[in-house]
A and B are shown apart, each in its own frame.
Chain A
Amino acid sequence: MVFVVDDDASVRRSLARLLKSAGYEVESFPAAVAFLASGRHQQCPACLVLDLSMPGLTGLELQERLATLQSPLAIVFITGHGDIPTSVRAMKGGAVDFLLKPFDDTQLLAAVARAVGRTRAAWKTTAELTAIRHRYATLTAREQEVMAQIVTGKLNKQVAEALGTVEKTIKVHRARVFEKMQVQSLAELIPLAAKLGLLG
């Protein structure tokens, strides 16, 4: 799925055709505000072909909004007249490409393909994290405490001391954590803890 936002109707229509010819589904919007209002920014797999200079909300401003909305959509900027400061700002904001009008179809399609890929990757990351969070949420408060201790590499005995209990109880909690977080070893658990932000 490709979303096209450009204030020029001709440009919008021609882009829709080109993207369709490459097999994409296309939805076009005449202004940034119209796109935001559609609520399509969480869609995946997809990408956004965005005109830089538009009346009202500009391309760069839409980019910033999407970032705050944690949208996974990757953006390909197109512009009638580019200057270096603007393009730098766009790329730093995470744009996949910055194309000067008029551009070749191959340029655009390549950029769009990359963008879709990046969106998918981003989306996948997001999906994984969501799953991990779900699993973590099934732990009891004591189990979460134990998990926070063991991912730092502490032995059961040390954990028991720190939490004011006996080594035997810790062993039981550790087994429950491994089970609920769906891991076999400490080595598997540590990356998950990292993604959850438990490693500070």
Chain B
Amino acid sequence: MLIIHSFGRDFAPLDAMSSSFRTELARQSAEPVEFFEASIETARFAETGDDGPLIGYLQTLFAGRQLDLILTIAEPATHFCLRHRAALFPDTPLLAHVDHRQMTLVTAATNATIAPVYIRIPVLMENILQLVPGTTNVVMVLGASPFERAWADQCRREFAVFTNRVTISYLNDLPLAKMRDRVATLPAHSAVLYAMLAVDAAGVPHEQEKALVSLQAAANAPIFGVFESQLGQGIVGGPLLPLEASGRQAAQTALRLLSGEQVGEIAIPPPDPVRNLYDWRMLQRWNINEARLPADAEVRFRVPTFWEEYKWQLIGIHALCLAEGVLIFALLRNRRRLRRTRNDLAQSEERLSLATNYARVGVWSWNFQSGAIEATAECKQLFGFGPDEPVNFPKFIERVHPDDRALVRRAVEESINSKSAYDMQYRIVLPDGQLRWIAARGRGRYLDGLANDMLGVVLDITERKRVEEETQRHRQELAHVSRVSIMGELSASMAHELNQPLTAILTNAQAAQRFMASGKADLDEFREILKDIAHDTTRARDVIRHLRSLVKKSAPDFTPLDLNDTIREVIGFLHGDIVARNVRVTLELAPNLPPVHGDRIQLQQVTINLLLNAFDALNGNPVPERLVTVATALESSKRVRVTVRDTGTGIPSDKIESVFEPFYTTKREGMGMGLSVTRSIIESHEGRIWAENDPKRGALLHFILPVDQAA
């Protein structure tokens, strides 16, 4: 077959078409293909040359040889063959590898078809404006040959739509050197569009892409190209035409023609997809943001960055720097913290000293080896020691009140043995006889499990104790006054409880007198009478004692106390009231109730108060509905609960909390102190008292007392 080039086989970009065609055809063909190549050398020249010698040469060359296919590359060669179709082997099919704009011309010729190259022009400008939006000036590089000038004219036509946005100049008339100067001094917002430069205005042919390489070295603006083969030679890139793919496409058509198919039977291939290809180096050089590239852009020649190349070395170096930085920072911080700690310590000591001074807290430490007790000035002053007087345990214990010494020794010993803190209150007697109350806290410190020393604080609580005692005394007085006032309310009970035995005594005595007077003296009868009189007298005495104990002013005497007994005693005592008020009292006492720690009289007072309140609540009820229940229960192993329940109207729900307030009363007589005093007594027993309403009927009053610890 014969390949006819337009300039010569090595002129870019046409060489991409011919070489890929040759390679593909050779590869695909079942039989070896013999290539003959010729060039329309005259296409380089501006003036039209004589086609005769070339025609003659070709005719001579193929005389007596069989020519199977003629391929023309680009317009000059194609036009040449079409022009001389009749002379140049009209029986041999002609395949024109040329721009699709020549399609009509080619297909109209005898035995000719086209392998089109789809050169699209406006997209080239669109690409420039897309990548460098501010571009206002574009210079177009094309050579001076007629073929190149024709393309320049084609471009002028197709770029007409951009003329109001961009000024486009064509460099066809400049030799390469001038072109270089021109592209080196372009104004701002310029771009170069390099199509091809086969022959410059000086008539110098430029094979391959040497002209492009030369221009891009000098250019001060980005150079855009047209063909994929130009990528990597200095163009930025864009929708580049894959001429090599076109060459391969043409080879496919050629193969079919060589196998004997007729030109009319072969469909003209559609355009190959244009690929958006870019040169990363050029994008970098002209500072074109990759974000502006189309979505399907393929960026080539990407140079690995410094980071990508030296990733691990960089990480290593940074890690080292970081480690050192952290170390330095830590050291600095440590130093600062140390300084601050020193300050804090000094401040803390100052504060402690201030606080201990102010609160009259003494701080001491007792070294077990030397036996010496080191103490602050406040501490020594508190115990009546001189500021420089050495102190040890015997000297200390001498100051403690004789009654409290054993207590203090035991607390200290237990603390050391159990390795726990002790917390206690004791009295001291100063040399001048003054009594002080001390609150003390301390704990041992141990070395290898052995007691080494002991640290502690002491606080003067004399004043607090005095106030406490006074409060206690007031509370007792109040409780007493309240008890006395109960006596008024208990008149019925008292009268009844005393009158019963008195009646029996008097009646018995008078009966005896009558027996004697009548002479019917029966010694057995007298013995019975005297026994009964003695019994009733004792009964009367007990009632009076009980009354006295309630009325008497006495210090509380806390003992283990069975609450069931207390309740039974009180019920006996209130018998008169219970009967007089027609109340039925039911006892629900838990068996085996552990004793509580309490004062018998005060707890009786509590029970009396609660019962009298319950009785009062029943005043409005008809007799059969006057019910009071007293129940005891073991709340937990540590607490006992007593509940007094009545069937009265209950407590108004908004008053549930305030019934224990002083002066709260619903009765016309009475001060309203009963429940307030009751609560005060229960609280002094470390117990709790509260009221609630039975959802069905009446009120419930509960109190809880701790079980006696000794029990």
Contacts and interface: CB of A to CB of B under 8 A. Distances in A.
User: Which of A10, A14, A17, A21 is the most central at the interface, judged by chain B CB atoms within 10 Å of its CB?
Assistant: A14
Contacts of A25: none
A22 B507 contact: no
A113 to B, nearest CB: 14
Interface stretch (B61-69, B341-349, B394-402, B576-584): B576-584
B495 interface: yes
A54 B265 CA distance: 139
Listed residue (B496, B510, B520) with the most chain A CB atoms within 10 angstroms of its CB: B510
B370 interface: no
B504 A54 contact: no
B500 A101 contact: yes
Contacts of B515: 17, 21
Contact of B580 (A22, A81, A101): A81
B535 interface: yes
Given A54-B579, A102-B506, A105-B514, A10 B495 contact: no
A105 B576 CA distance: 24
A103 B501 CA distance: 12
Interface string B494-511: 011001111111111011
How many chain B residues sit at the interface, stated as a range, is: 20 to 34
A15 B536 CA distance: 14
Contact of B510 (A18, A20, A80): A18
Given A17-B525, A17-B529, A21-B515, A105 B496 contact: no
Given A80-B499, A102-B502, A105-B514, A18 B507 contact: yes
Given A21-B518, A80-B495, A102-B499, A14 B579 contact: no
Interface string A18-62: 101110000000000000000000000000000001110010000
Q: Quick one: which of A7, A13, A58 has the most chain B CB within 10 A? A: A13
Contacts of A81: 491-492, 495-496, 499, 576, 580
Nearest to A20: B511
A10 B536 contact: yes
Contacts of A102: 499, 502-503, 505-507
A160 B500 CA distance: 70
Given A18-B511, A105-B514, A8 B504 contact: yes
A10 B532 CA distance: 7
B532 A13 contact: yes
A55 B525 CA distance: 30
A10 B501 contact: yes
Interface in A140-159: none
A103 B535 CA distance: 19
A14 B582 CA distance: 25
Chain A contact patch, size range: 20 to 34
A70 to B, nearest CB: 25
B514 to A, nearest CB: 4
B507 A14 contact: yes
Contacts of B529: 14, 17
Nearest to A56: B584
B580 A53 contact: yes
Nearest to B504: A10
Contacts of A11: 500, 503-504, 507
Contacts of B510: 18, 104-105
Contacts of B525: 17
A54 B500 CA distance: 12
Interface centre among B500, B506, B535 (most CB of A within 10 A): B500
Given A80-B495, A81-B576, A10 B514 contact: no
Nearest to B525: A17
Contact of B511 (A55, A103, A104, A105): A105
A21 B578 contact: no
B504 A13 contact: yes
Contacts of A20: 511
Contacts of A105: 507, 510-511, 513-514
B499 A21 contact: no
Nearest to A18: B511
Interface string B330-374: 000000000000000000000000000000000000000000000
A53 to B, nearest CB: 4
A136 B500 CA distance: 52
Contact of B582 (A15, A58, A78, A108): A58
Contacts of B535: 10
Contacts of A18: 507-508, 510-511, 514
B490 to A, nearest CB: 11
A162 B512 CA distance: 71
A55 B510 CA distance: 28
A14 B502 contact: no
A108 B575 CA distance: 25
Contacts of B505: 14, 102
Contact of A14 (B496, B532, B584): B532
Contacts of A13: 504, 508, 532
Given A13-B504, A81-B499, A105-B514, 6 more contacts: A10-B532, A11-B507, A21-B514, A21-B520, A101-B503, A103-B506
| Those 3 A-B pairs whose CB atoms lie nearest each other, nearest first | A21-B514, A14-B507, A10-B504
6 contacts: A14-B529, A17-B515, A18-B514, A80-B496, A81-B576, A103-B506
